[in-house]
Structure 1
Amino acid sequence: MTNNKITFDEIFEQNKRRIHYQLHKMNIRDPHQEFFQEGLIAMWNAYEKYKPDKGPMATYFNYMIRNRLIDRMRKENRYTEVREQATQEFSTQLTDGNHRRREGEMAQPLTANSHPQLNDPTPWQHLKSHMTDKQWKWVQFHIIDNLTLPEIAQQENVSLEAVKSWGKQARKKLRTLNEQNIINQDDFF
């Protein structure tokens, strides 16, 4: 077979169903014919590079089309993952992941440096009266003073696990107090 006798148009007409077959076999939905175009390019490359002594042309077409479609799918998947990751990072930067909501109002993002203020110590004293000394230390140092857990552990000369335990118990107590309406979270912010 020589390239002069059979043109690519003739080869395409005889073999275009191979592209559709590979698309169907790989469960690729192609409403905009993007993958079909990839298959067509693969067929053109196979037509240009085909050497009759290496094997049948049909097998070579199938191989080239299938691998080109797989490459395109990988590229699309990588692009989608990067786009989703960028969207998530952008969303997190905008909202910082924290929101404050009062009843009947829209959620308002908290700023990154937003801390409870001690302008009025009355609600804090009320809260302290319901907590153990260790739970209160965790609230005081971690929430009010914004210290990290390792800093609290070092300051109090205890293990990091002990500080984590204080935090776990303090959060549990805060949830209970909030559910029982003993404290009102709006008093603290």
Structure 2
Amino acid sequence: MARLRDRDNSAMSTLYDMYSATLYGIVLQIVKIEETAEDVLQDALVKIWNSFDKYDPDKGRLFTWMLNICRNQAIDAIRSKQHRVSNKTEDFSANIRSGLSSEDFKPEHIGVRDMIDNLTPDQKQVIDLMYFEGLSQSEIADAYNIPLGTVKTRARSAVKMLSKFFKGRA
């Protein structure tokens, strides 16, 4: 602990080796998404490193202190608006893709192509790539050099628009 207080990088490496797997598992139980858990753990470890001088061994064990920081970071992450929107969009795309193969799905049979033509060009591009080409949001962002958040926003707004079209047909 003295080495950590002295900002010894090798001490942080040792700490990471000893506790990262356990802390990651706990964070993953809270956030449920591996990529988010990795980001949260990294942020938490930076916070631990930067605030190690605030750790008081008289108040509790080091692991408990680190666990509380990781837990709080994970809770903050799932409460964030970005996480909630991302989850809704990812869940929707996973549900759509999981039950359909490109051979089985013929959108023209239910008029989806006609509905998609009513979307903005940006929304139409994202929907075409996601649901008819089978690309993930990350793949679209990489292939078309569009920020991932923008892809998710376009997908979400397109889904909202399409749901209005479906409600109008019922």
TM class by shorter-chain length?
0.3 to 0.5
Task: Determine which structure has more spread, i.e. the larger CA radius of gyration.
Answer: 1
- TM-score of the superposed pair, with normalisation by structure 1: 0.40
Structure with higher helix content: 2
